Structure 1
């Protein structure tokens, strides 16, 4: 069974999500090509915001977009940042992470990402190229990104679970 991630970020960001608005659903190479053509040329080389919605579909939005907006305010199977590269007449995933402080998806959410990318016909690296480990501090409740295996809360300096 695939885990769903609810939004855990600031309520004021979630409250800005408009009904019926979400990231562009990418069902194949043609969808991705059209969507990338709509993006400003100087942003096509940057990572984009992505989510895998609860239906298992890949959704994209510009990098400056919040993950919760890309998800239309709902839960996700994964979220993060993704970049693409051209390989002849096809697009492929050049880099991908689970970096979303709004959802804090575990690296195990790759399984849902892999299915979504495969369904969209996008070649990918087979795992997050930049995996992020999140931990919530039991003492202060702060969500943390663990860097360099340093399992210490950035706010209260309490030990985080490994």
Structure 2
């Protein structure tokens, strides 16, 4: 008989086997977006930036690629165990001359929601935005941290 690590059941049964559950990704991946040009920063979906999640012994690190935004463009909230990231940016310019008017405008926005694992201390989440990368550090609860191996003496 062998021991198998027990994984707590996730929403939607066996479809989710990782600690983080991207709710937007689950629903958006079910539809096909046509004529979408993949970008190196965006993950090929309709206006969704790429996301990296790394687990360390003491914390989780999340990096979200969002170039072109400013720190003030982001709104990050934690609600009911979900980390919600929302960003909006508007730009408009108008130039009037005697015989013409030139107008330029753009609008960029996205939203991502991540279901946080129960092992995260929600009150100790830290975020920073630098060079187009929005970074998060999510501290783990003490009981979730990996303990060093313990040597057992044989009697």
TM-score of the aligned structures, taking structure 2 as reference length: 0.28
* Larger proportion of strand: 2
* Greater Rg over alpha carbons, structure: 2
TM-score of the aligned structures, taking structure 1 as reference length: 0.27
